[in-house]
């Protein structure tokens, strides 16, 4: 039985791992480049781990009671769990993450509804599942008993829980039909039991097991009714019976434990775990007495771990104070809704000098990770000693909130009025048949037209020019000239390759969302607000803080220039409204659908300007359509309705003879098949090579009857597919759907590839298209 330690009054579910100066990124990349040794990587990682837990103490978390999470990972927390269980040998950690010459990496996919990517473990009937790696124990010990003379911190190790781990895993190749990783629950739980015993022996008062699968029908929807509750009950019965274990906190971030598909709070509350963390930003507070909760702590996820806005402390404190009576819980503690992995480190790291759209007022409206820790500490103090104990902090938060609500730009009447005037006519184009005929006449393309998704390789020269421009070492004219030269080169290459619909190559775009955010009113971009996307990769999501409008055309000059160089059609290339929202920090003071409509209208004006500049084809990319899909099935319809409507708002102003393309890139289309049809794009390109075109018959069966470009070339690796392979994939597509609908294109943009492999692969793609055309 656990050491009797009450749950701390305030905690966070996890903290950014990459380092405020991206120390981990640099250490990893130096190791991978062979510039450092394993020992040097470990030393840098250890320094970062210790600095992090001490920073959390400096910010007000208690150093002695397990308030401070130990949520470090060298690359990914799901991979860590696979290594913990021996499913991936510790020595193969980075091979599993990145592949080596011989072995491919594990598949990577999005973590719940975030833009963080995890590695998908492969579990079969015989995959080892035993307690094989004691990293959580070592990291606990190094902080609790440091040998560097620094402060000791008793942390709370954070590990992905067994149920979620297995639900996120996929069946290993060769597993018998019908096998599911969750079939191995007892083996996995036995390994976790050994981990808990080891943590207890090391003196850990608390351990946190993350079970976000419990809020996500997208992950558990395939299970038989009751199977999830049964798995939770079984797993936690075993784990709570481990002698000498730490007290257990089960965290369920990203949504609601209770929904139409089941009450997943009940089995947790009925178990003998000591604490449950619920997300009160995305999810709702339990209502009514919850049996079993009286003997547990309820960690109330009141501070948003997934967005950057300063919390309304007055409202949150009142909510916390109500919870105890409402739920009958043994104790209420204050927490974050999710790990702080999804937000940058510290508002103070940014220079809020008014440059680059960074409005100085914003600083006061925001809370990054460190500010959120302080909010948790304040709320915990207020809960323990009454609001009077934190009156000053509450007043400051309320004042910032009021300032934000009243600030110019947050509400722009002209934008609101335009959205309010919209009607059904604004989202409808002419019937597809009519459009298709007009487009065929205008474009006169061959059957199986060839194209690419938009970006061409971002060469070291392009990156160097952009960096020099940002530093001021290259002036606007010189930068522009360098990018135009690149566009000319990309157009010439596409002509030489014989592609049918060309692109300008997107050299001028640092990022497909940031590029637009920098040019739209209502957004700010940060200089150093990095957030881990996967492994050593970080992104800087823009901050969408006000009503959105387009002060000037965004992309037209580049498309016009590219079109001036060729007689072939050049696609105008835009990022869609849903993707712009998904990869930004969005305002939390109005429904997302309203924000999407504003972005869509800005894009609609851009489409009109592209048409006026002569573009016959416009592509609006929505690679994140699936990512924002609500985790609970009952919420999905409403989301897809506004998401589809936003895309149509952006595109439906196009003339019938303007061909609208869209691009989607993820491989699980299940829940969004109808939405793809609903977008009403003339041509949809999608990722399909790795799944061998399985989306094509799926779309056909769903009645999809417009252009489709299933990717025939997997751009995620430098491997060059042979013309034969591409031909084979293409034949699968034309056999599955009306060949007149089929387009030939890679899976996604080429920006991460090099020119050598890109050129050869596209040559094979064009050859395959010609071969299959000849046999139609
Ligand atoms: N047009 C973008 C590109 O080619 C699309 C990228 C994406 O789908 N993520 O880079
Ligand atoms: Zn893509």
For 719-770, write each residue's pLDDT tens digit: 899 999 999 999 999 999 999 999 999 999 999 999 999 999 999 999 999 9
Residue 116 lies in a domain: yes
Closest ligand to 687 CA? 2
Q: Ligand 2 centroid vs 122 CA: distance in angstroms?
A: 24
Residue 756 lies in a domain: yes
pLDDT digits (tens, 9 = 90+) for 184-195: 999 999 999 999
Instruction: Give kind and range of the element (H or E) at residue 275.
Output: strand 275-279
Q: Is 622 in the pocket of ligand 1 (CB under 6 A)?
A: no
713 and 579 assigned to the same domain: yes
As a whole number of angstroms, the distance between CA 623 and CA 392 comes to: 44
Instruction: Examine the fold and report which residue of 289, 309, 344 is the final residue of a domain before the chain moves on.
Output: 344
Residue 30 lies in a domain: yes
Number of Cβ within a 10 Å radius of residue 494: 26
Pocket test for ligand 1, best of 490, 502, 511, 512 (most atoms within 8 A of CB): 512
Instruction: Name which residue leads in pLDDT, 665 or 699.
Output: 699
Q: Ligand 2 centroid vs 544 CA: distance in angstroms?
A: 23
Q: Is 686 in the pocket of ligand 1 (CB under 6 A)?
A: no
Clarify whether 716 is annotated catalytic: yes
Instruction: Name which residue leads in pLDDT, 421 or 352.
Output: 421
For residues 695-718, average pLDDT: 93
Range of the domain at 696: 432-512+556-775
**The predicted structure's pLDDT at residue 717:** 81
Q: Is 665 in the pocket of ligand 1 (CB under 6 A)?
A: yes
Burial of 671 (0-12, 13-18, 19+ CB in 10 A): middle
**The predicted structure's pLDDT at residue 327:** 84
Q: Which atom of ligand 1 is nearest to the CA of 623?
A: 8
Give the list of residues 6+ apart from residue 416 with CB closer than 8 angstroms, or none: 547
Instruction: Examine the fold and report which residue of 313, 344, 375 is the final residue of a domain before the chain moves on.
Output: 344
As a whole number of angstroms, the distance between CA 117 and CA 76 comes to: 8
Map residue 604 onto helix, strand or coil. helix
Residue whose Cα lies nearest atom 6 of ligand 1: it is 749
Residue 383 lies in a domain: no
pLDDT digits (tens, 9 = 90+) for 40-68: 999 999 999 999 999 999 999 999 999 99
As a whole number of angstroms, the distance between CA 27 and CA 30 comes to: 5
Residue 591 lies in a domain: yes
For residues 219-241, average pLDDT: 95
Q: Is 604 flagged in the annotation as binding?
A: no
Instruction: Examine the fold and report which residue of 303, 320, 344 is the final residue of a domain before the chain moves on.
Output: 344
308 and 449 assigned to the same domain: no
For residues 672-691, average pLDDT: 94
Q: What percent of the chain has pLDDT over 70?
A: 98
Residue 376 lies in a domain: no
- Measure Cα distances from 536 to 6, 31, 110, 530 in Å: 36, 12, 15, 11
Pocket test for ligand 1, best of 749, 752, 753, 762 (most atoms within 8 A of CB): 749
Q: Is the dihedral of CA 579, 581, 582, 583 positive or negative?
A: positive
Please, what is the average pLDDT of the chain?
A: 95
**The predicted structure's pLDDT at residue 667:** 64
- Measure Cα distances from 195 to 158, 188, 200, 316 in Å: 12, 11, 9, 35
As a whole number of angstroms, the distance between CA 277 and CA 11 comes to: 10
Q: Is 537 flagged in the annotation as binding?
A: yes
Q: How many helices (H) and strands (E) does the chain have?
A: 27, 22
**The predicted structure's pLDDT at residue 3:** 41
**The predicted structure's pLDDT at residue 1:** 45
Q: What is the ipTM of this complex?
A: 0.99
Planar angle of CA 770, 683, 572, nearest 5 degrees = 95
For residues 494-512, average pLDDT: 97
- In three-state form (DSSP H/G/I as H, E/B as E, the rest C), the secondary structure along 113-127 is CCCCEEECCEECCCC
As a whole number of angstroms, the distance between CA 50 and CA 64 comes to: 15
**The predicted structure's pLDDT at residue 360:** 75
pLDDT digits (tens, 9 = 90+) for 554-572: 999 999 999 999 999 999 9
For residues 85-92, average pLDDT: 97
331 and 446 assigned to the same domain: no
461 and 315 assigned to the same domain: no
As a whole number of angstroms, the distance between CA 607 and CA 602 comes to: 9
622: Cα separation from own chain's centroid: 14
pTM across the whole model: 0.95
Concatenating the DSSP letter of every residue in 266-328 gives HHHHHSS-SEEEEETTTS----S--TTGGGSEEEEEEE-SSS-BPP-HHHHHHHHHHHHHHH-
CATH number at residue 580: 3.20.20.210
pLDDT digits (tens, 9 = 90+) for 99-126: 887 888 898 899 999 999 999 999 999 9
Closest ligand to 709 CA? 2
Task: Judge whether 759 and 493 are in contact, CB under 8 Å.
Answer: yes
Residue 106 lies in a domain: yes
209 and 63 assigned to the same domain: yes
334 and 457 assigned to the same domain: no
pLDDT digits (tens, 9 = 90+) for 139-190: 999 999 999 999 999 999 999 999 999 999 999 999 999 999 999 999 999 9
Task: Judge whether 306 and 281 are in contact, CB under 8 Å.
Answer: yes
Q: Is 573 in the pocket of ligand 1 (CB under 6 A)?
A: yes
Specify the number of domains making up the chain.
Answer: 2
Concatenating the DSSP letter of every residue in 605-633 gives HHHHHHHHTT-SEEEEE-TTTTTT--SSG
| pLDDT band at residue 356 using 50, 70 and 90 as cut-offs | low
Q: Is 14 in the pocket of ligand 1 (CB under 6 A)?
A: no
Residue 404 lies in a domain: no
Q: Is 455 flagged in the annotation as binding?
A: yes
Q: Ligand 2 centroid vs 664 CA: distance in angstroms?
A: 6
User: Is residue 708's pLDDT more than 80?
Assistant: yes
């Amino acid at each position: 039985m656990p050491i009797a330690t009450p749950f701390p009054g305030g905690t966070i579910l996890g903290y950014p791992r990459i380092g405020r100066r991206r120390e981990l990124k640099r250490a990893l990349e130096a190791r991978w480049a062979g510039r450092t040794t394993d020992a040097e990587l470990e030393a840098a990682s250890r320094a970062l781990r210790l600095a992090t837990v001490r920073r959390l103490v400096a910010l007000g978390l208690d150093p002695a009671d397990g308030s401070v999470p130990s949520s470090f990972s060298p690359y990914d927390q799901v991979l860590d769990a696979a290594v913990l269980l021996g499913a991936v040998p510790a020595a193969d950690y980075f091979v599993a993450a990145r592949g080596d010459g011989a072995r491919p990496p594990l598949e990577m996919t999005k973590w719940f509804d975030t833009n963080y990517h995890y590695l998908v473990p492969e579990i079969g009937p015989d995959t080892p599942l035993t307690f094989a790696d004691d990293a959580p124990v070592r990291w606990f010990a190094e902080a609790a008993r440091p040998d560097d003379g620094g402060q000791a911190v008793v942390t709370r190790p954070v590990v992905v829980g067994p149920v979620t781990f297995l639900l996120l895993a996929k069946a290993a190749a060769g597993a018998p039909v019908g096998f599911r990783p969750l079939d191995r629950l007892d083996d996995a739980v036995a390994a976790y039991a050994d981990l808990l015993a080891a943590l207890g022996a090391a003196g850990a008062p608390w351990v946190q097991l993350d079970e976000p699968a419990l809020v996500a029908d997208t992950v558990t929807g395939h299970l038989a009714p009751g199977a999830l509750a049964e798995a939770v009950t079984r797993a936690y019965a075993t784990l709570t019976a481990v002698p000498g274990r730490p007290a257990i906190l089960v965290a369920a971030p990203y949504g609601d434990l209770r929904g139409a598909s089941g009450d997943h709070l009940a089995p947790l509350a009925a178990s003998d775990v000591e604490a449950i963390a619920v997300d009160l930003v995305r999810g709702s507070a339990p209502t009514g007495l919850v049996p079993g909760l009286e003997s547990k702590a309820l960690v109330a996820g009141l501070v948003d771990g997934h967005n950057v806005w300063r919390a309304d402390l007055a409202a949150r404190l009142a909510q916390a104070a109500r919870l105890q009576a409402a739920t009958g819980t043994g104790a209420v503690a204050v927490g974050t809704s999710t790990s702080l992995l999804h937000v940058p480190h510290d508002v103070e790291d940014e220079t809020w000098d008014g440059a680059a759209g960074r409005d100085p007022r914003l600083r006061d409206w925001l809370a990054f990770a460190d500010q959120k820790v302080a909010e948790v500490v304040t709320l915990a103090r207020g809960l323990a000693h009454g609001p009077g104990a934190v009156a000053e902090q509450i007043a400051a938060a309320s004042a910032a909130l009021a300032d934000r609500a009243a600030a110019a730009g947050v509400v722009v009447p002209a934008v609101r009025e335009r959205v309010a005037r919209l009607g059904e006519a604004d989202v409808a184009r002419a019937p597809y048949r009519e459009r298709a005929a007009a487009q065929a006449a205008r474009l006169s393309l061959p059957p199986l037209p060839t194209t690419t998704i938009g970006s061409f390789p971002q060469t070291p020269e392009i990156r160097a020019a952009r960096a020099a421009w940002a530093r001021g070492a290259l002036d606007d004219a010189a930068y522009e000239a360098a990018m135009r030269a690149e566009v000319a080169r990309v157009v010439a290459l596409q002509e030489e390759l014989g592609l049918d619909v060309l692109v300008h190559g997107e050299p001028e775009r640092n990022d497909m969302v940031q590029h637009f955010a920098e040019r739209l009113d209502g957004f700010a971009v940060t200089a150093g607000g990095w957030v881990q996307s996967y492994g050593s990769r970080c992104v800087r999501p823009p901050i969408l803080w006000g009503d959105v409008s387009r002060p000037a055309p965004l992309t037209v000059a580049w498309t016009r220039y590219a079109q001036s160089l060729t007689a072939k059609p050049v696609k105008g290339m835009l990022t869609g409204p849903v993707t712009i929202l998904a990869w930004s920090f969005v305002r939390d003071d109005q429904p997302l659908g309203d924000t999407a409509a504003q972005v869509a209208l800005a894009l609609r004006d851009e489409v009109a300007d592209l048409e006026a500049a002569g573009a016959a084809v416009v592509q609006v990319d929505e690679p994140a359509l699936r990512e924002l899909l609500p985790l609970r099935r009952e919420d999905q319809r409403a989301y897809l309705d506004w998401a589809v409507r936003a895309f149509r708002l952006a595109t439906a102003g196009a003339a019938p003879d303007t061909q609208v393309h869209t691009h989607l890139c993820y491989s699980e289309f299940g829940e969004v098949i109808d939405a793809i049809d609903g977008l009403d794009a003339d041509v949809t390109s999608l990722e399909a090579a790795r799944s061998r075109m399985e989306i094509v018959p799926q779309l056909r069966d769903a009645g999809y009857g417009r252009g489709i470009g299933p990717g025939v070339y997997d751009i995620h690796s430098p491997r060059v597919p042979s013309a034969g392979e591409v031909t084979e994939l293409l034949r699968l597509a034309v056999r599955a759907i009306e060949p007149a609908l089929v387009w030939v294109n890679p899976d996604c943009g080429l920006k991460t590839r090099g020119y050598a492999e890109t050129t050869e692969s596209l040559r094979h793609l064009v050859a395959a298209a010609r071969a299959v055309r000849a046999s139609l």
